[in-house]
Chain A
Amino acid sequence: MTTLSLKKITSAWIITILALFVLAIAFGITMRFNQGANINLDPAKFYSLLTTHGVTMIGIWAVAGMVAVNYLLARYVPVSTSLNVFAFILTVVGVVMLWVTTFIGHFHAAWTFLYPLPFYVAWEKWATPVFLLGLGVLGIGWFVWAVGMMLQILKKYSLRHTFAWQHLTTKHDVAVETPPFILITTVSLIGIIVCLLAAVVLLVLFFAEYFSSGSFVNDPLLMKNLTYFFGHTLANESLYLGLATLYELMPEVSGRPKFKTTWYVALGWNCTMVFVLTAFFHHLYMDFVQPVGFQMIGQLASYFASLPAAAVTAFSVMVLVFKNPIKWSLTNILFFLGVVGWLIGGVGALIDSTVSNNIFLHNTLWVPAHFHTYNAMGNVLFSLAFFNWAANEFVGNQNETKSYSLKIVLLLIGGFGFVLMFYFAGAYSVPRRYSVYPQEFTSAALLASAGAWFACIYLVVILWMFFDIVKKCFKVFSPSY
């Protein structure tokens, strides 16, 4: 059941996430302008911005998925508002700690803080432990929250039913139907729990070395594996949380019958759960010390994780829309476009996850190109769709009359223009994470400036939506609500 307190905490989340989003986009634009030589930042400042941008974006969009899932989960099982509030407080504390380290402590080891870089202190000494602690605070909040949701699901559905295994064995007339939303939420929450545990292990190893005063060191190979196990998986699971929301809401707002769990939906998502946990090996293709077997698993898992996604989710969305009368609104247009962005980003990801391509794409701008596509034009749109829907829900009016076509057109131009500049630069070997470009990359600066201007258009749309959505969210807090 959706209670007032759930609405309030969800509103608080939406307002916080969108505010942080706007700021993080602004940091991103600043960096692109610096790469375009339009402004001139000190490199350390540039990398502080890079660190803040990365850690904020990955954090808010992971947590946005959890906020949406938590809100919708209340339709099926009782959810704990106190856990939600607990996670909110820890997230705010964690974000403040992280921003303090980057802006006051000048910490700039990037959000991946690849071992042993944080120990090569080029910033305030306290910034390293506080940054790691800040991540720990975020991790604890989300871990407890995710486990809480998982347990609530398991209280109602048996293990077999949560994973929809009954749909695999009997094709017709199952006694208990697992809603797709429950299945996908379970799969994603398990992924979240696993990658947060990987983060815990990583942080424990960091701190163990930190406090050992040099009596032992960590294995850089293990630390790198753990870093991407956590980082890559978190980014992927955020997307899947967004898809859970799509499965639940898109047919509803489109005025179509709900999605059903069938054997292929069950099989697809069960496979995704397994594949996605080993796909992170593709981050280590250029580390020849990693055994070749793992590299092969990396490519296989990256390919086959995308197969169920395309054949199940994208195909289902096609079936939902194709030649069917749809009540188009901003909410389902955002879901629909999110699928397009997710698929296009997926193609970029597949190209990069092929080892023979990775040798000339690894750590070029192709990498930010593809992940910005499926984040900024995929996952963000899924979450914005939910935010828009939730804001309308709070004011009790899903029938928006305002035209949204200008917003959508600007969003498409800004978003795809922005990522396209990354793709061009990436294909032409421009390295990622460079504060300025060496002279030999003749068009890199121009592409960066163009990217920044496109991102400005994207930012305008986000601000526009921000005001629309936040205005409605604030109503929940008024005494007369």
Chain B
Amino acid sequence: MLQGVLTFILITICVASSFSKPGDYSLTEESRLYTKISDVELATAQGRFRLSEVYGQSPVMIAFIFTRCSGICSPFLLRLNENIKALSSKINFRVLVVSFDSADSLADMVALAQRYGLTANSQWLFATTRQINELNTSVGFHPVWDSTKRQYDHEALLVGVNENGYIVKKLTGIREPRDLLVMIKEINNDFVLSYPLPRKNMLFSCFTYNPATGEKKASLGLVVLLLPALITLLLLFWFSLKKQEANRAS
């Protein structure tokens, strides 16, 4: 009996721990938050704008890439595009893809948009800017030119800017849709009271946050929390059923 219980607990632990995995988190994500982004001039296929004209219309997520990139930029944009396609269309935001390589021309960026089939998509904007250093500094982005590889050494960076031009959230690396959703909520000035930090295998977490609905979704931990009341209820009903049977028999 005891052996059975112990085996059951061990199996539950193994199964439960396989569900939780550490998330991505980088300290650089926390820099320059709540500061205003530099209002640089952008060159796009639709004409020249100031950045403030873009975020002034709707909150914006800015992806930093360069077209010659042989590393993370392609998968980064690909995943971003896929993740955004999967979102509900009602969410208010735009995506600005900006090149941080002064060698990139507007034609290169237009070609990039075509490659991803986003030329006609008004939610997406592809741009170059002459003031890239200013923009980089204002978001805390520091790509380093590697002259032997003839590539920039850089991280995949997505910066969330609200309608007032404040940087409210940054994401580094290729991220899951749920991280993207937190950013969308934040750039729309929805305050998320708390966020989890990555950690070791965690057993029975209470909630996973679902920013699409703004709610925390119950996970296994909540079932654990309900267990005591459920067991008591079952105990009560089981006993009263048994009693009814006994009454009928007599």
Contact = CB atoms under 8 A, between A and B. Distances in A.
B206 A221 contact: yes
Contact of A205 (B193, B194, B204, B229): B204
B210 to A, nearest CB: 11
A154 B232 contact: no
State the 10 A-B residue pairs at the shortest beta-carbon distance, nearest first.
A197-B228, A289-B194, A222-B221, A216-B201, A288-B193, A198-B228, A159-B240, A291-B216, A288-B194, A219-B205
Contacts of A288: 193-194
A217 B205 CA distance: 10
A281 B158 CA distance: 37
B156 to A, nearest CB: 28
A217 B228 contact: no
B202 A217 contact: yes
Nearest to A160: B240
A201 B227 contact: yes
A216 B203 contact: yes
Interface in B205-247: 205-207, 215-216, 221, 224-225, 227-229, 231-232, 235-237, 239-240, 243
A151 interface: yes
A198 B240 CA distance: 23
A215 B201 contact: yes
23 contacts: A154-B239, A154-B240, A194-B228, A197-B231, A198-B228, A201-B227, A201-B228, A205-B203, A205-B224, A208-B9, A208-B203, A216-B202, A216-B203, A218-B202, A219-B202, A219-B206, A222-B205, A222-B206, A222-B224, A229-B228, A288-B194, A292-B193, A293-B215
Interface of B: 9, 13, 17, 193-194, 196, 199-207, 215-216, 221, 224-225, 227-229, 231-232, 235-237, 239-240, 243
Contacts of B200: 214, 216-217
A201 B201 CA distance: 19
B224 A217 contact: no
A196 B199 CA distance: 30
Interface in A204-253: 204-205, 208-209, 212, 214-219, 221-222, 225-226, 229
Contacts of B232: 190, 193-194, 197
A155 interface: yes
A147 B234 CA distance: 13
Given A193-B232, A193-B235, A217 B201 contact: yes
A79 interface: no
A158 interface: yes
Given A205-B203, A222-B206, A225-B206, A291 B215 contact: yes
A277 interface: yes
Contacts of B9: 204, 208
A195 interface: yes
A451 to B, nearest CB: 36
Interface centre among A212, A215, A289 (most CB of B within 10 A): A289
Interface string A62-89: 0000000000000000000000000000
A222 B205 CA distance: 7
A195 B228 contact: yes
A214 B203 CA distance: 12
A205 B9 CA distance: 10
A209 B228 CA distance: 20
A212 B224 CA distance: 19
Interface string A274-309: 000100000000001101110000000000000000
Given A193-B232, A193-B235, A218 B199 contact: no
Given A190-B232, A221-B221, 15 more contacts: A158-B243, A159-B236, A197-B228, A197-B231, A198-B228, A200-B228, A205-B224, A214-B200, A219-B203, A221-B205, A221-B206, A225-B225, A226-B225, A291-B216, A293-B215
A147 B235 contact: yes
Nearest to A225: B225
Nearest to B193: A288
A218 B204 contact: yes
A155 B236 CA distance: 11
Contacts of B196: 289
Contacts of B231: 197
A223 B98 CA distance: 45
A289 B224 CA distance: 18
Contact of B240 (A158, A193, A214): A158
Contacts of A195: 228
Interface centre among B193, B227, B228, B231 (most CB of A within 10 A): B228
Contacts of A200: 228
A183 to B, nearest CB: 15
Contacts of B229: 194, 277
